[in-house]
Amino acid sequence: MENVLEIKNLCKKYDHFELKNVSFHLPKGMIMGFIGENGAGKTTTIKAILDIIKSYQGEIKIFGLDNRKDEKKIKADIGVVLDDMFFPEILTPHDINNTMKGIYENWDSKLFYDYLKEFSLLPNQPIKTLSKGMRKKLEIATALSHHPKLLILDEPTSGLDPVARDEVIQLFQSVLEKDDCSILLSSHITTDLEHIADYITFINHGEIVLSKTTDELLEQYGIVKCTTEEFMKIQKQDYIKYRKKKYEYEVLVSNKKDFKAKYQIAVIDKITLDDLMVLMIKGEE
């Protein structure tokens, strides 16, 4: 399967934080959910992909091209929404349309105004009068209106209410199907990702903990809840992490079927991405 994004051994060191050999790939036509707690390295990784951060080690290829050597060719086909992105507040959506026409050869004014209508945004309303949620919708409309082949989204549903979030998620799925687009989507709202992401990549303390299909994670991984006596019988190689609670142990396993057959455990709970994050971050080995 062709990859639209390939990251190999990405390293970036700061005084109090470090990306350590970050590697993953995004297949064409897929959505990847990029998860991790605050400060885990999601935004730093995304800014390296976009060549906003310059001094890093490793290799990043987009559409098979080097993201530093072929920056101009690549950027025409990428749509971006960053968590700290902003437009000058004196501008209106109409001003943004006029600006973007001069930047992107394939800018689609009709599509942009269609998105404005869909999001209930007025073309001549100054950005300074928009709520945080409405500004986010404007950023999304702008990112989508030059028919990108790759969308890189950092917290794109931040500040949106549940109804608006669902609206935006449905829009991303529509774009994926209609325009043969691929999406890297960083979000703290993991329930959104469970419904739309084909892959999940989990970063913690600057390192990739796992990168797997969503189906594999949600169907094969599970949480065993057991007594101290039961936990003491479990061999270390048969679980990933565990947490000792007040009255029981919670044990993260990567293959529910094999675990159940070996230990005759009657009930193994299904896992959510929230469960996975908490156990991977807070659990013990």
Q: What is the DSSP string of 56-116?
A: -EEEEEETTEETTTTHHHHHTTEEEE-TT----TT--HHHHHHHHHTT-TT--HHHHHHHH
Residues 76 and 186 in one domain: yes
Q: Quick one: pLDDT at residue 85? A: 66
Instruction: For residue 278, give Cα distances in angstroms to 95, 184, 239, 271.
Output: 44, 22, 15, 11
Residues 204 and 226 in one domain: no
Residues 226 and 142 in one domain: no
Q: Quick one: pLDDT at residue 126? A: 94
CATH number of residue 129's parent domain: 3.40.50.300
Q: Quick one: pLDDT at residue 174? A: 83
CA–CA gap between residue 272 and residue 270 (Å, rounded): 7
Q: Please name the residue ranges forming H helices in the chain.
A: 42-49, 71-75, 93-101, 109-118, 132-144, 162-179, 190-196, 214-220, 228-232, 256-263, 273-282
Residues 49 and 147 in one domain: yes
CA–CA gap between residue 150 and residue 29 (Å, rounded): 9
Closest CA to 157 of 175, 174, 170: 170
CA–CA gap between residue 8 and residue 170 (Å, rounded): 31
Q: Quick one: pLDDT at residue 157? A: 83
What 13-21 contacts at long range (C-beta under 8 Å, 24+ apart), as own/partner pairs, is: 17/41, 17/44, 17/206, 18/206, 19/44, 19/45, 19/48, 19/56, 19/206, 20/206, 20/207, 21/58, 21/207
Identify the domain containing residue 120 by its residue range.
3-212
Residues 16 and 97 in one domain: yes
Residues 136 and 228 in one domain: no
Residues 24 and 146 in one domain: yes
> Mean pLDDT across the chain, nearest whole number?
90
User: What residues contact residue 42 under an 8 Å CB cut-off, 6+ apart?
Assistant: 34, 35, 36, 154, 186, 203
Q: Quick one: pLDDT at residue 84? A: 67
Residue where one domain finishes, among candidates 212, 230, 260 = 212
Residue where one domain finishes, among candidates 162, 188, 212 = 212
Residues 40 and 69 in one domain: yes
Residues 46 and 112 in one domain: yes
Residues 126 and 262 in one domain: no
Number of domains observed in the structure of the chain: 2
pLDDT-flagged residues of the chain (< 70): 84-85, 266
Residue where one domain finishes, among candidates 168, 194, 212 = 212
Residues 196 and 131 in one domain: yes
Residues 242 and 190 in one domain: no
